[in-house]
Amino acid sequence: MKRVYRGLKRYGHEALRGHVLQTAQNGRSRHPDLSTPEAVMALVKDDAVVRYPTALEFDADRLSPGFFAEVEAQRASGTGAATLIVHPHFEGRGLDLAYLVAYHIPAINYGKMASHEDAEAFGAKLLGVDVQTYYARVCALADELA
């Protein structure tokens, strides 16, 4: 029985990953230039890419120590709405902001089902780079806060 469960779990994750990548490709097609903060805001507001209504706010006080961004679910609304809180260090930084926001879109769209690998795959596909390049850039940006 465990073998069947593992097989179903793997199939489910493969299906999720396929949807994650398709959504990222759709986002890339709809938003090919994410070099400005306004373009990143348009991405966040696009319900073909970000499944639930999402506000983008810059507030270091609402972030856990060491985090560059976090998703705050708006549970009381019952709509699945979320707020993506980003460290103000990245406000106005266009493409850098796109890298950090992209990492959190799978968590907004799929909740806890999305893994860090899904976040990295989504961001890489959305921004048109390989996963290693994407991951290295996100780490470099996060290190700016250290």
What CA–CA distance (Å, rounded) separates 91 from 26?
25
The answer to whether residue 16 scores a pLDDT higher than 70 is yes
Spatial neighbors of 18 by CB under 8 A, at least 6 apart, are none
Number of domains in the chain: 1
Mean pLDDT of the region 46-67: 96
User: pLDDT per residue over 84-94, tens digit each?
Assistant: 999 999 999 99
96-107 pLDDT tens trace = 999 999 999 999
Q: Which domain holds residue 12?
A: 2-143
DSSP structure class, residue 44: H
Residue 130's alpha-carbon distances to 50, 56, 107, 109, 111, in angstroms, are 21, 26, 20, 22, 24
pTM: 0.89
Asked if residue 46 lies in contact with residue 30, where contact means CB atoms within 8 angstroms, the answer is yes
Can you list the positions of beta strands (E) in 1-146?
A: 54-58, 69-73, 82-86
Q: Helix, strand or coil for residue 66?
A: coil
